[in-house]
Structure 1
Amino acid sequence: MHTLSKLGKLTKWLAIGLIILAIVIAISAKIKHYQRFKDNNEYRGADIVNNSQFLDNYQKIYPSPDFKNWETSKNWQGWSPAQSMWYYNATQGSDLLPYDFFLSLEQSNSQSLFRDNQHIDQFRYIPQQKTKLNPDALPLGMVKDEYQNKSYLGFTCAACHTSQIVYQDTAIRIDGGPAMANMDGFMRELEVALSMTLNSAEKQQRFVERVLALDINYDNKTAIVKDLAFYQLQISLYNYINTSDTHTDTLG
């Protein structure tokens, strides 16, 4: 009987322990769910564009609170703003480049940053403003990823599967639609920018100073220059392997 009593108490405490564990798991899942959809930007992060080289400037965003039918359109395509923002910024392990490299890199032919919205517009990636899930105002579909204690810049599915059509002065966002982005051009120009930074003493010095100031991945110049050479070669090899014999600039 004494053994049965001990067994009964053990079973009781085990049941209580399982209940507590279930509650903790449920609370944790709720917190993760909240964190995932915490960015409820009503404009879906869209930034106003006034100087697009494609002449599709816009002053309004649809859907947004600026439209009278906002209450019925805010779940545009069945997606709430928070769901769209999660889709744009959900990292998927595409570690293209150290994060501070992308933030610090200059364009190949000027001192303007590679990530400048006017430059990004040349490749038809969509400019975004700063939001909770995108504090550095990265273009739509580009995201910060953490891997083995290092921060990287990578693409998400949204980079290639989000459309934006401009009608008159209104940009209409289409989540899941085909992007008009020129990824090949982006990658080729990224290679050139990295090469110029690697081989120009002035560009390299400015680049190193910016990277060190960010204090994200690096604390010395030697490591920065070493990885600059590594990623320049990696991007160069990617472009070489994926080079097409079709010259798109000659297509009418």
Structure 2
Amino acid sequence: MKPLNFALKPLWLVCATVTLSSCSVVDRKPDVPKEQVQPVTAVGQVPDRKWLDQGWSEKLRQDFWYTGQGSQIIPYVWFMWLEQPDNNKLFRDGEHMEMLRYLPNNSSNANPGGLPIGFALHNNQTTGQAWVGMTCAACHTNQLDYKGTKLLIEGAPTLANFVLFFNRLNAALAATLNDNQKFSRFAINVLKDDASQEKIEDLRQDLMQVAMATAERQAVNDLPADYPDDFTSYARLDAFGNIQNAGTAFALDDLNNRNAPTAPVSYPFIWGTHQSDVVQWNASAPNTPIVGPLVRNIGEVVGVFGSLSIHKAPLWEKLVDKHVSYSSTVDLNGLGQLEAWVKTLRPPVWPEQYLPGIDIDKAARGKMVFQANCVSCHQIIAPQDVLNDYVATRVPVKEVGTDPTMSNNASCHMAKTLILEGTKTFILAGDKFAATDSAIDIPVNGVVGLVLKDPIKALKAGAIAEKTGTDGEKTTLIKSIEERIKAHVENRDKLTPNTNEDCVDGFYDAGVYKARPLNGIWATAPYLHNGSVPDLWSLLQSPQQRPSTFWVGSREFDPVKVGYDTTQGLNLFKVNKADGTVQAGNSNDGHLYGTSLSDDEKWQLVEFMKTL
């Protein structure tokens, strides 16, 4: 059996021919042939970037950018040679990746293939085949430009257009498959001296399998027909919706068991994530030590090309009363390392060596305004305390008044449970799945299943960031992870009680959005959870005075209003539909705090937020 075909089979089929222990989620990491990871051609111009001191060394930054987490987009050597769909330039060409707003980068020890930041090598745990996949840095690293200076901000929300990237990738694979000249160039470069007629035909069949898989993913995550093609666009993504469908449609192998991802949100900044008691915009996930970050991060991998399969257990597992089995390409150890590094990341400090200096007198007055109007939700954390744990404020959606679509979709989307029907929602705890149940609970069930598949490795991976020892008797470790999962589920239930029972016509009456400390907020435009407001100045205006259209995708920073230049960009964000009504998911309403201040007070407040 050829390596690629073997990798694409559900892992439970592989498990039928090897021992159970060899099917661990984080098994060995075989050596990849050197020629697969050597740079084979120039990637184009990589800009000279300045980086700010956020507590990371150069090596740690490189490690964060290029440590794989188990995501598999396409085979690594294919990514080296895949052409763009509408021309002969390479897909990974720097100009093309910059147009998608991913960050081209040079080759290094951590990145021998010269991949963009956040595109990492992953060795399939079963076959050893090298794949390219996304890692945390793809979505949580950004470049901010000001008058020719390019600042690299670690942990900042990307401006990338994930949907356009995937559409272009899908089109490139299809074009390579259907254009004989494109395919011929691709095959010669990929196979090199091994380009026999038999190998070329094998490559074509493998390419067809991967192209089909990407086309299926695109179809499952399509928007309804009445949504504009550029609805998701730059700087935001419905990650929750993609994760839901990864569980309901792909893990359960029913492509029609899906919900449209109609609630794109701004990518959150990740400094302070490890320290918060809850994560996600809707505060739906408790950050229970060890288990919380592990569950959160596995779910993230599943949403960005990490496979998840939930299937009938093989015979030997049924003998111990286990009827459902789980498998994935997720790399638990890589996730543990990534979380440990994020834990040490500091928010960026306004760099006066590159940006206009802060007006200290105005900022001091702004602090008084902030304390009077903002601090009840957004606590002020002193620089020396930014790595300490904190409790985030949860504000009811009805009170904050911002677009409710994300909260509603996360809580009210339903899906068939298929083989999970009658099993406990979270394996060790929770009610039993009904025939149709909460969609988000299905991938969460899968994530818990992956943790329990190899509890010792899971506990060790989760403990990396906690500096917690995991030595001791095997049974004690397993008991520890089980107790932690039960506690995590219990905490989760407290955050979102009776989720679907509180949904009426798709509206979740008990929804909340998370308000976090605003350290580094100056580097995280656009604003509100759905990215519907371009800058801090606009956020302080009444909703009627906020821009209803503005360009997105520009990297040029506006240090006055604190956001990006909205007079240029790559796509026009529109709050309203063509008929003048608000596009669900795009509302810039709500968050009225500070909107009744005088203009002087608003400018003082903006100046103070530069100091956070």
After TM superposition, list the pairs within 5 Å mapping 1:142-221 onto structure 2.
142-147=119-124, 148-213=127-192, 220-221=199-200
The aligned residue for residue 101 of structure 1 is: 78
The aligned residue for residue 29 of structure 1 is: none
1:61 partner letter: R
Q: Following the alignment from structure 1 to structure 2, what is the Cα–Cα distance between the partners of residues 214 and 190?
A: 26
The aligned residue for residue 203 of structure 2 is: 224
Deviation at 1:111, TM superposition (A): 1.1
Deviation at 1:250, TM superposition (A): 6.6
Equivalent pair of 1:198/1:204 in contact (CA under 8 Å): yes
Calculate the aligned-residue CA RMSD, in Å.
1.8
Structure 2: stretches of 5+ with no match in the other structure? 1-44, 231-570, 575-612
The aligned residue for residue 89 of structure 1 is: 66
Secondary structure, aligned partner of 2:54: helix
Structure 1 position 240 matched with structure 2 position 205: no
1:208 partner letter: A
The aligned residue for residue 61 of structure 1 is: 49
Q: Following the alignment from structure 2 to structure 1, what is the Cα–Cα distance between the partners of residues 119 and 46?
A: 18
Q: Following the alignment from structure 1 to structure 2, what is the Cα–Cα distance between the partners of residues 241 and 177?
A: 29
Q: Following the alignment from structure 2 to structure 1, what is the Cα–Cα distance between the partners of residues 46 and 182?
A: 30
Q: Following the alignment from structure 2 to structure 1, what is the Cα–Cα distance between the partners of residues 152 and 185?
A: 37
Hey, which bits of structure 1, 4+ residues long, moved more than 4 A? Answer: none
Residues 127 and 250 of structure 1, relative CA distance in 2, 3 Å threshold: closer
Q: Percent same amino acid at aligned positions? A: 32
1:132 partner letter: N
1:182 partner letter: N
Provide Cα deviations, 1:17-58, integer angstroms capped at 9, x if missing partner: xxxxxxxxxxxxxxxxxxxxxxxxxxxxxx643xxxxxxxxx
Q: Following the alignment from structure 1 to structure 2, what is the Cα–Cα distance between the partners of residues 117 and 163?
A: 15
Q: Following the alignment from structure 1 to structure 2, what is the Cα–Cα distance between the partners of residues 198 and 131?
A: 32
Equivalent pair of 1:93/1:154 in contact (CA under 8 Å): yes
Q: Following the alignment from structure 1 to structure 2, what is the Cα–Cα distance between the partners of residues 92 and 118?
A: 26
Secondary structure, aligned partner of 1:78: coil
Query: Which deviates the most, 163-172 or 229-238?
Result: 163-172
Q: Alignment length, in residue pairs?
A: 182
Structure 1: stretches of 5+ with no match in the other structure? 1-46, 50-59, 64-72
Q: Following the alignment from structure 2 to structure 1, what is the Cα–Cα distance between the partners of residues 121 and 144?
A: 26
Equivalent pair of 1:100/1:214 in contact (CA under 8 Å): no
The aligned residue for residue 79 of structure 1 is: 56
Per the normalisation by structure 1, the TM-score is 0.68
The aligned residue for residue 115 of structure 2 is: 138
After TM superposition, list the pairs within 5 Å mapping 1:40-51 onto structure 2.
48-49=46-47
Per the normalisation by structure 2, the TM-score is 0.29
